[in-house]
Amino acid sequence: MIDLNILKKAIVLTQYGKFEEAEKIYKDLLEENPDDRNLLSVFGLFYVNIGDFDRAVPLLERAKDLKKTLGTVSALGFAEFERKDYAKASEYLEESLEFGENADIYNKLVLSLFEIKKYDKAINYADKMYELYPEDINAITNKVKALTQSGKLMEAQDFCLESLKKHPDSASLWFHLGYLKELIFSDDVQARECYRAAADLGSKEADYNIAVSCVKLGEYEEAEKYYKSMLQSFPNDTETMTSLGMCYLTQKKFKEGYDLFYKRDLGPVVNKTKNLWKPGEPLEDEIVVICDQGFGDHIQFVRYLPFLSGKKVKFAVHTSLQDLFKKNYTDVEIITYSNIDPQMQSLRITDLAYVLNMDFEHIPFAEGYLDIDTPADIKNDKTKVGLCWEAGCAGIRTMINRTIHIKCFEPLLNMANIQVYSFQVDDTLKGNEKYPQMINLAKDFKDFSATARALKAMDVLVTVDTSVAHLAGALGVKTFLLLPYASDWRWFNDTKTTPWYKSVEIFKQTDHISWEEPINNIIEKLS
């Protein structure tokens, strides 16, 4: 039987910050009562309260195994949430709803589901939370997020504005309003003001979005200031370190940029390796190069592969690129991701320039470095123009920034002297259906070799910033590249040409919203 007075003493000691004394009491009590569910829960919550979640979880798991209750299951969910294991957190928090509910459980459940990209479930629980707790500010914020994720952007903005009338001091609502200003109107000036309002109301996370707005406005020194402020609050935040690195890289600050960009999340593929190359380490005789990031990155940075000559190289590549790379890089062994030896020294392909210390003044093979055996047999008396208008799924903010609505290309599609061919594989805007005068080649693309053969048959490619742009440049195909006002770091804020590809000509937005001027400039060229 536990002496409740001793237990209360541990709780009081915790409240006064005397954690070592409290911990000793809990340990002594647990030694005498190893299977006391309540003690295990209280001890687990002690570790949760002092931020030691790794010690909290085993105690809370034992308490749950002895008896599942609202307290034991939800506490475990909260601990996993703090450990950022959102999959386990969502599992436990959802299970805890079988025993009871409160606003905090719903809030952390919704946030966890958004983190692991189970959007349908997140939206359903956000709606349920708002239905049960309509005055709870987290419920209101999650409702805004749910509407945003559902694509109901104007409804999300209206709901956010209406909620701000009741809760003008809500940092989270100002934060989300800024995000909506970005997504709906590409208005980074207004977005930044909303983020600043959130920061003034105590949101430390707002510094990150202020920095993003500054980058999109071309104010790099200001962006650096806010990224650094964010890192003062969250010194181990990988996303902020990576973004600051990209801010430096945009300005061609090679070492400063890559020192931080290198620290980006490994991702599920790179996590297969236990021996990732670290800055300053020598290269071993046998190495595996792993394609990380997006397909465009694989194509862009594969140019550095020949500079690993003298090493026995295995090359882990997505299946859609294997055939193309096998034909162009015969000295390396192409393998699938499942065949990565976790003990071999590994390099991420996007880090090759950093590993080889080849800065941006020495970008090799700008004239092209990939080839394909036979171009596709596409005959036409008109000028053959390939077209790609949508960026892939690199996050909603990036996707919207790089995508151009197919309707903007109507003047080009109706030109008498050209024939447009669609290279758009994931056609969420239904451009191929809406404009039947365009010949859809993309429907037959099984891999990048097929795309490459079709590209080699074109007179010119008109494309947004996506993998097809990199493939065309690597093949030496004439390309008109449409870049947003705030382009990806890989284009260095250039406006006409790029040192990566001699065959690529840049047509960049001159403001944050309209694509009319760059598209008209392309039409003049084609005329």
Report the 3 state secondary structure along 92-157: HHHHHCCCCCCHHHHHHHHHHHHHCCCHHHHHHHHHHHHHHCCCCHHHHHHHHHHHHHCCCHHHHH
How much is the pLDDT for 254?
97
**3-state SS string for 231-243:** HHHCCCCHHHHHH
> Taking residues 22-43, what's their average pLDDT?
89
pTM of the model: 0.86
CA distance 129 to 123: 10
Reported as a single tens digit per residue, the pLDDT across 45-80 is 888 888 898 999 999 999 999 999 998 899 999 999
| CB within 8 Å of 40: residues ≥ 6 apart | 30, 59, 60, 62, 63, 66
Residue 465: C-alpha distances to residues 299, 341, 453 (Å): 13, 33, 20
How far lies 341's CA from each of 302, 311, 313, 512, in Å?
A: 20, 16, 12, 45
Q: Is residue 301 within 8 Å of residue 470, measured between CB atoms?
A: no
Which residues have CB under 8 Å from 267's CB, separation 6+? 292
> Residue 394: its pLDDT value, please?
57
Mean pLDDT of 480-495: 93
Domain ranges of the chain: 267-355, 383-526
DSSP bridge partners of 383: 418
Q: Which helix (H) or strand (E) holds 292?
A: none
pLDDT, tens digit, for every residue of 238-280?
Answer: 999 999 999 999 999 999 999 999 999 888 888 889 999 999 9
Angle at 171 between CA 168 and CA 175, to 5 degrees: 110
Quote the radius of gyration of the chain (alpha carbons, Å): 27
Q: Where are the beta strands (DSSP E) in 407-459?
A: 418-422, 439-440
Write out pLDDT tens, residues 124-140.
999 999 999 999 999 99
φ, ψ of residue 208 to 5 degrees: the values are -60, -50
> Higher-confidence residue: 398 or 427?
427
3-state secondary structure at position 467: helix
User: Rounded mean pLDDT of 445-464?
Assistant: 97
CA dist 108 and 368 (Å) reads: 49
pLDDT digits (tens, 9 = 90+) for 178-233: 999 988 888 899 999 999 999 999 999 999 999 999 999 999 999 999 999 999 99
> What fold is seen in the domain 383-526?
Rossmann fold (3.40.50)
Average pLDDT over residues 350-358: 96
CB 195 within 8 A of CB 210: yes
pLDDT score recorded for residue 272 = 83
By mean pLDDT, which of 50-59, 378-387, 464-473 is the weakest? 50-59
Q: Would strands 418-422 and 383-388 be described as parallel, antiparallel, or unpaired?
A: parallel
CA-CA distances (angstroms) from residue 245 to 34, 223, 254, 256, 263? 49, 11, 9, 7, 9
In percent, the amount of the chain with pLDDT more than 90 equals 79
- The yes-or-no verdict on residue 395 having pLDDT over 70 is no
